[in-house]
Structure 1
Amino acid sequence: MRIWGLVAAMVFVASGAFAGQAPVAYRLTPVVERGALSALAVEMRFVGDADGVTDLELPSSWAEGEKLWRLVDHLTVDGARLDPGGEAVRLLRHGSRAAITVRYRLAITGETDPGRDHAKGEPVVRPAWFMAHGEGLFAAPAGRQGDPATFAWGARPKGWTLVSDLDHLAGRTGKVSEIIDSVVVGGTQVTRVNAKVAGAPLRVAVIGQWPASAQAVTDMAARIMTAENALWRDRGQPFLITVTPLGEAKGGGSSSTGTGKSDAFAIESTTNVDLTRDPHFLAHEYMHTWLPNQTGGLPLEDEARDYWFSEGFTDFYATRVLLASGIWSLEDYAARYNEVLTRYDGSAARNFTADQVMAVFWTNQDAQQSPYDRGRLLALTWDRAVRTASGGRLSLDDVMRRQRDAVRAGAKGYGAALFPGTLRALAPGIDVEADLARHVTGGETVWLESGVFGPCLALARKSVPVFDRGFDGAKSGQTGIISGVDPAGPAYAAGLRDGMKRLSREGGKEGDSRVEIGYRVAGPDGVPSLIKYLPAGKTTFDLQAVSVVPGLSGEQRAACVADLAGR
């Protein structure tokens, strides 16, 4: 049951659209009563538009969160008349450039951890802690994303720690868009670690207890960030990592999601996840500092159409950085690409057109993953093509740095739209538009060519059975009860039945039918048992596979690492 309560965001806003006026100033104050969070006190001040009518934009739809305005409660206005009705946009009528005060509340969503199905666009507010993305928290006058803005916390409750990437605005003026593209956390059990990366502050704020300490997460993140700054030839900048709990997944499963901001990333995860065991997750999120944030960004509508660029390229570079930094070996690098290729080649959405992907993107896991894998494999292909065309002088890294520099110099256009022209300027013979038409728009399979990984990794193709879990894995993981067992599938043949309690999963590799998977379950008598089987379906598909060439000398391995790392 959803328990409604009170969240308030204290927001002072003054338009910078008119010369001489103060910047938009946001203030956020948590209110703790009798030891528990009851509200974030809310106030919003700004100068109305010159024509006497201002549209106030409330949080709307973002990152699986729909109709976020529905959480806004007790909206009141001084200095203007609030027209009745309206949802995401509320109409204010007032005198020309009037001083306006808006107050509102956001509803608390419950007193227990949000769970693995939480829509990350929605604020999470609990008696002892809170986390919210700016997109789901802050309102703003319409059309003022580029206006100057400041941020400050209000009074800090005794015993509470408050952290946000907006703290980076302390003592200076940013933009309204920075306020919206933010994350805020606070609570009584926040562990905060401070470090330096390339001379700039790195802060890690972790709520609750996790397998890896906040210090271990910080150390891993600092190593990755150092390598990524080197890739982009950039100086360090203030950065924040937040880690907040989704709770324990039922049946021993796990779930993690990350959201990259321009100067932060927010991790939401079940608390059984060791965040240092998969550095690719951290590398991916920090790479969003540049991709797509500093290379053109994403469109406001249907942004997932450009995920081949923003997410696929980010995956490609995260893998490259982990190899370059020495965190991963050649074997680790090959293993990750084998995971990607197994998932991609065996995906039910492998040949979805872009329109088909978009039609089911938020409800179909295969469709959601498709742009990531297509973009990663296309980036790998184009990187080798640029190297070949330039006689080894250039790589995709040079293309991306040039696009970053062009955007900083004022180039207009979203990242995915800017990329083909940027690459063409450095390697005219590569027809990026044709590749995109075939593989992204049309859904044609990306078959990698021999040599795309250089001389140290061999590429082969083999026929393997499709991955068939034999039951509804997603629903069973959510409920902790086995359901949807196919009587003709491998799970049923091994003894798995609907209604068994799912205790844990042991072994197996998601998407790989060649690796035995096991489920520890309990039947009606409550006695636990372990059921193992090969999750192999009755049909097959062609799988691309990578392996490290045996017998490489140390010098050859070093040369191959340098090549694959883009050096």
Structure 2
Amino acid sequence: MRKNGIVVWLLCVSLTGLSAEGNAKSPDPSGVTYHLDTITQGDHLTAVRLRLRFRADKDGKATLRLPDRWGGGDRFYERLKDLDIKGAKTVTTPEPAVREINAKPYALITVSYRLEANRTPGQEVPLDTNYTYPVIAPDWFYITGPGLFAVVEGRDPQAQHFSWSLPRGWTGATNLQYPTPPELNEAADQSVLLAGKDVHIAQLKVKSGDLRIAWRGHFDQFTSDAFNASVHDIINAEQSFWGEGQDHFLVTLAPSESAKGGRSIRGSGLGESFAMVATPETELGALKIILAHEYFHSWNPLRLGGFDPDEEEKSGYWFSEGFTDYYARKLAYEGGAVDAQQFMATWNDALRAYAASPYRTAPNSVIVEKFWNDPLVQKLPYQRGSMLAVLLDARWRAQGKSMDGFIHVLRDQARADTASKAPHVKLIDRLNRAATAYGVDFGDLIDRYMLKGEAMTLPEDAFGAKFRVVSEDVPVRTLGYDPDKSRAAGAFVAVDPEGPAYRAGIREGMKRLRVESRGVGDGHDVITAVVEGAEGKPQTITFTATGKDYIRTQKLILR
């Protein structure tokens, strides 16, 4: 993740296609002015162009960092076209994503580059592409900040500005429209821009202020009104928990390509906003917990002390992601956004996936090393952290305390640190400081379960009086062929004559057209394979991925 971000706000929005750049004043020597133009051919968008204007430092130098990496994507700078830097004597490239500028003292520097359209008419966000990359179609675009913004090092966040010009008939929404709070000092890395001919914006009121919801495209299972109501209820519930909220908040939703019978949901909590991309088949119930998770990121970790620097950030994902998962489920249920059955189903999916994870007992160092490269490792801090929150809440409730009380103390201490401009306090030190002030302790739970990776088990009464935790043995998920090699070959490879796929009729070398899964994570998973049958006609084969071995898992039931 890039740490050299900016705080920006929208100066002007032109929906007529006329650029506001011509009237822009010379930039403040301590700031940067950004303007986004759209390039069209007829009625179609062909590219977007970003222009930066800033002044060199008093020694004539400036360091420009191009879009590079974020959210599992990397080398964003390779997508930039016609990069041009004017006003400099010399420009050097010490690293692919860095430009060192040497100019006259306080010289006006102008940087421009463009991103070309990468979608054709009717195409949505690619299903198999990391959504952090810019998506630019002929009639709309969806861009998260790290894929667009270059950053000038050492500039005053409050002296940086953004504007854009959109084609006639387009509507756009961005979280750069309003001033960003001081604790969000990386708004370029925390921004989303959604604009197009069919973008619709709803403006609602929540407890703390204004809520904007920007939506485009079509979803089969719910209406925009139902989605808007869910977002409204979740945000109100979480603002009630915190006793505060944002003056302005933005939610964006855009469709991805169809998953052909499955579903895919991708979301990212950003500065005063969250951005979501989902397949058209997605049900509203599947979005609610994700909505709750992403909104909770408005506080965790940003208003609870922030991330630790550099690689240490990943070592704390069990808190920033795992505790957020715990509260997303808890507050969505307590606020009425989901019912008891949905609450249990969400927890049971997580507990089953944890029990089946091949990394279940891996130390935290494995998460730091492989988080962005292995999807199963990526899920582990979510699973562990949410379970630790349950264990701690159960322990502290027995002492007349609660996880809620602890989190509020942590928040209050972070507020005091911000007000006094105290230096950054590392996560484990912040947690221990808050525990001491609240009169509780972690014992050795963090060391055992989060750092060393010991297997975790929840006690029967961990969720209080309404739910009970029970254990059961379930069959291991076994396909009976090599899924990775089969996917790459387009045919079934290493089919086990003793496995479930073979028993259902799949044979070695059979052409693989499509494979879908219910995704339940254990041997109850139902697999639907479409193969090339007799005379080249598609044939559907369905089987249950039940292996011979069993794993012990836990689940919630009603008392």
Correspondent of 2:60 among 52, 55, 66: 52
State the Cα deviation string for residues 467-496 of structure 1 (Å, max 9, x = none).
224445678789997666544432222223
Structure 1 residue 257 corresponds to structure 2 residue 266: yes
2-structure distance, mates of 1:503, 1:380: 39
Which residue is 2:435 aligned to? 424
Secondary structure at the counterpart of residue 186 of structure 2: helix
Contact 1:10 1:29 in 2 (8 A): no
Contact 2:174 2:250 in 1 (8 A): yes
Instruction: For 1:25-174, list aligned pairs within 5 A.
Output: 25-86=33-94, 87-111=96-120, 112-144=123-155, 146-154=157-165, 156-169=166-179
TM-score under structure 1 normalisation? Answer: 0.85
Secondary structure at the counterpart of residue 389 of structure 1: coil
Secondary structure at the counterpart of residue 275 of structure 2: strand
Unaligned runs of 5+ in 2: 1-18
Secondary structure at the counterpart of residue 248 of structure 1: coil
Secondary structure at the counterpart of residue 226 of structure 2: helix
- State the 1:415 CA deviation: 6.9
2-structure distance, mates of 1:485, 1:203: 51
1:271–1:349 distance in 2 versus 1, CA, 3 Å: same
- Aligned AA (1:354): N
TM-score under structure 2 normalisation? Answer: 0.86
2-structure distance, mates of 1:393, 1:365: 29
Which residue is 1:196 aligned to? 205
2-structure distance, mates of 1:405, 1:240: 23
Contact 2:393 2:403 in 1 (8 A): no
Secondary structure at the counterpart of residue 247 of structure 1: coil
Contact 1:9 1:43 in 2 (8 A): no
- Aligned AA (1:259): S
- State the 1:298 CA deviation: 2.1
Instruction: For 1:212-251, list aligned pairs within 5 A.
Output: 212-249=222-259, 251=260
1:181–1:522 distance in 2 versus 1, CA, 3 Å: same
Secondary structure at the counterpart of residue 252 of structure 1: coil
Structure 1 residue 179 corresponds to structure 2 residue 184: no
- State the 1:528 CA deviation: 5.4
Unaligned runs of 5+ in 1: 1-7, 550-567
Which residue is 1:210 aligned to? 219
State the Cα deviation string for residues 240-259 of structure 1 (Å, max 9, x = none).
1112232122x423211101
Which residue is 2:15 aligned to? none
- State the 1:107 CA deviation: 4.2
Secondary structure at the counterpart of residue 195 of structure 1: strand
Which residue is 2:462 aligned to? 452
Instruction: For 1:299-318, list aligned pairs within 5 A.
Output: 299-302=308-311, 303-318=313-328
1:393–1:276 distance in 2 versus 1, CA, 3 Å: closer
Structure 1 residue 384 corresponds to structure 2 residue 394: yes
Deviates more, 1:346-355 or 1:104-113: 104-113
Which residue is 1:561 aligned to? none
1-structure distance, mates of 2:500, 2:255: 34
- State the 1:143 CA deviation: 2.7
- Aligned AA (2:41): E
1:327–1:114 distance in 2 versus 1, CA, 3 Å: closer
1-structure distance, mates of 2:21, 2:550: 57
Which residue is 1:544 aligned to? 554
2-structure distance, mates of 1:314, 1:174: 19
2-structure distance, mates of 1:84, 1:436: 46
- Aligned AA (1:204): I
Deviates more, 1:309-318 or 1:83-92: 83-92
2-structure distance, mates of 1:219, 1:480: 43
Contact 1:13 1:47 in 2 (8 A): no
- Aligned AA (2:471): R
Contact 1:145 1:175 in 2 (8 A): no
1:199–1:314 distance in 2 versus 1, CA, 3 Å: closer
1:394–1:277 distance in 2 versus 1, CA, 3 Å: closer
Correspondent of 2:331 among 311, 318, 321: 321
Contact 1:471 1:491 in 2 (8 A): yes
2-structure distance, mates of 1:355, 1:9: 49
Which residue is 2:8 aligned to? none
1:477–1:328 distance in 2 versus 1, CA, 3 Å: farther
Secondary structure at the counterpart of residue 51 of structure 1: coil
Structure 1 residue 494 corresponds to structure 2 residue 504: yes
- State the 1:122 CA deviation: 1.7
Which residue is 1:369 aligned to? 379
1:164–1:371 distance in 2 versus 1, CA, 3 Å: same
2-structure distance, mates of 1:466, 1:270: 29
1:288–1:207 distance in 2 versus 1, CA, 3 Å: same
Contact 1:61 1:121 in 2 (8 A): no
Deviates more, 1:144-153 or 1:444-453: 144-153
Contact 2:318 2:384 in 1 (8 A): yes
1-structure distance, mates of 2:179, 2:494: 51
1-structure distance, mates of 2:51, 2:308: 30
Q: Over the residues paired in the alignment, what is the CA RMSD in angstroms?
A: 3.2
Deviates more, 1:278-287 or 1:325-334: 325-334
Structure 1 residue 279 corresponds to structure 2 residue 288: yes
1-structure distance, mates of 2:480, 2:398: 45
State the Cα deviation string for residues 426-479 of structure 1 (Å, max 9, x = none).
4445235x3222212211112223322113322222332222244456787899
Secondary structure at the counterpart of residue 208 of structure 1: coil
- Aligned AA (2:144): H
- Aligned AA (1:88): A
- State the 1:371 CA deviation: 0.6
Secondary structure at the counterpart of residue 327 of structure 2: helix
Instruction: For 1:436-447, list aligned pairs within 5 A.
Output: 436-447=446-457
Instruction: For 1:441-480, list aligned pairs within 5 A.
Output: 441-471=451-481
- State the 1:391 CA deviation: 5.2
1:115–1:307 distance in 2 versus 1, CA, 3 Å: same
- Aligned AA (1:141): V
Deviates more, 1:117-126 or 1:79-88: 79-88
Contact 1:58 1:88 in 2 (8 A): yes
1:537–1:192 distance in 2 versus 1, CA, 3 Å: same
Instruction: For 1:288-303, list aligned pairs within 5 A.
Output: 288-302=297-311, 303=313
Deviates more, 1:358-367 or 1:415-424: 415-424
2-structure distance, mates of 1:480, 1:403: 56
- State the 1:138 CA deviation: 0.6
- State the 1:159 CA deviation: 1.6
- Aligned AA (1:27): H
1:318–1:240 distance in 2 versus 1, CA, 3 Å: same
